[in-house]
Amino acid sequence: MLVKWECKLSARNLKRFVPILFYVSLVAFLFPAALVIQRPSLRATLWLTSLGLLSWELLEYVLHRFVFHLDARRQSLRRLIYYAHLSHHDNPKAVDKLAASLWLSAPIASVYFLSVWALSGEWESAVYLWSGLVAGYLIYEWLHYQAHHGRPRLALLRYLKKYHLLHHHATPDLRFGVSSPVFDYLLGTYRPARNPVRRVDNRS
């Protein structure tokens, strides 16, 4: 019985790494292919990749504020939002609720890639931008895990942890940034992380 329970737990925890492995594999294949075919300058590659990284910050904020906290009227949409994000608010410690599932993230990633391809006119440029986006996503997942399960020593990481836990337990309508509070500050939802974090039902 114990072995069976441990197998189920391990499978459930490993499942959250599927999107990460999927996107890392795609970047590992597409990024070198784009470099070999296009042969861009180092400056152009770094510029586009950095722009993609910054675009993740904006995408993270927009999704978190306007989609995952949407007060939907349709029951089916409410269930979808709950599954995608609000279930994490109900149980922030649950490891299997931390990472976005592949079925949820893949359509968003695909729309992003096709959009920047259409705008740039070059699939190679889209790859550099999309790779920056994936890098931002990986940083986000790591920071999100640290916020709920880590004991960071760096002052910046401690601040981000406190900032995110305040979003959970004090101001769910504010402090939407997980990777950074930059867009909170720019768009009016920033509040300093000065108040003590209250633990709710031992689930923080």
Q: How many domains does the chain have?
A: 1
Answer yes or no: is 195 within a domain.
no
pLDDT tens, 131-142?
999 999 999 999
Answer yes or no: is 6 within a domain.
no
Answer yes or no: is 12 within a domain.
no
pLDDT tens, 94-125?
887 888 888 889 999 999 999 999 999 999 99
Answer yes or no: is 194 within a domain.
no
Structure tokens at 92: 């922030």
- Total count of residues recorded for the chain: 204
Answer yes or no: is 10 within a domain.
no
CB 152 within 8 A of CB 161: yes
Compute the distance between CA of residue 69 and CA of residue 86 in angstroms, rounded to an integer. 8
Please give the pLDDT value at position 10. 54
Compute the distance between CA of residue 179 and CA of residue 157 in angstroms, rounded to an integer. 10
Answer yes or no: is 86 within a domain.
yes
pLDDT less than 70: residues of the chain? 1-15, 195-204
Answer yes or no: is 180 within a domain.
yes
Answer yes or no: is 196 within a domain.
no
Determine the structural domain holding residue 68 and report its residue range.
19-187
> Which of these, 165, 168, 163, lies nearest to 190 by C-alpha position?
163
What three-state secondary structure class fits 170? Answer: coil
CB 97 within 8 A of CB 171: no
> Which of these, 160, 171, 168, 155, lies nearest to 199 by C-alpha position?
168
